[in-house]
Amino acid sequence: MAKKVAFLLAIVSISMIATLAHGFPDDGSSKAVEEWPNRFPTAEPINIKFRLYLNNILTTVPPASVAVAKASTTDSTPTSFGLVRVIDGPMAEQPMTENPNATVVARVQGLGVFSSQTEVGILEALSFVFVDGEFKGSTLTALGRLAPAEGWSDISVVGGAGVFRRAQGTIASRIYYIDPTVGDVQEMIFDFDYYPKTTTSQE
């Protein structure tokens, strides 16, 4: 039994070493780090566009978002300056205020910081975790400012993983529905490029 365990541990160790050798530069020099991306073949980016709705519903159990911090002066400001909310809300092709049974395509996980003292302005840092459909298992990362009074706001797609490797682009976002006792729904139009995964000779 001990010999079998030792053999399995040896196999795991060899696999880990091989993975590290493939995944990182050969040495720790800055030149190796700079040249590492050149080891992989280039590919033409793919552009994709689609529309989804972020359902930030507060009446569900658990609620889609919760307040986790605020300043001592937040409640006295008209813009909720200093309020921080964390979200883990469902995204669907339809507003769930209109169709509660809409299929959840992704979950939006991140935070919103009320960061303006002159108007309602929310700094959003979001990960879109796709849980259904052809993009299941992939993620997008976005960062930007939502200004509800201005209508549409552009949020930058700054990266991705899985199918959406090296994604870059924008998400046009606006408040589609809002009710202080229920929550809100954001309409989001995605328009970004990503690079498909390619097979290398080193894999």
Instruction: Choose which CATH entry (2.40.480.10, 3.40.50.1000, 1.10.150.130, 3.30.365.10) describes domain 46-194.
Output: 2.40.480.10
Q: Residue 58's closest CA among 166, 144, 170, 179?
A: 179
Give Cα 178 distance to the centre of its chain.
Answer: 23
How far is the C-alpha of 64 from the C-alpha of 84, rounded, in Å? 14
Q: Give start-end residues of each CATH 2.40.480.10 domain in the chain.
A: 46-194
* pLDDT tens, the chain, 203 aa long: 544 434 444 443 434 434 334 444 555 567 766 665 565 556 688 999 999 999 999 999 999 999 999 999 999 999 999 999 999 999 999 999 999 999 999 999 999 999 999 999 999 999 999 999 999 999 999 999 999 999 999 999 999 999 998 899 999 999 999 998 999 999 999 999 998 765 444 44
Q: What is the pTM of this model?
A: 0.76
Q: Output the DSSP codes for 149-184.
A: GGS-EEEEEEEEEGGGTT-EEEEEEEEEEEETTTEE
Side chain identity at residue 81, one-letter code: F
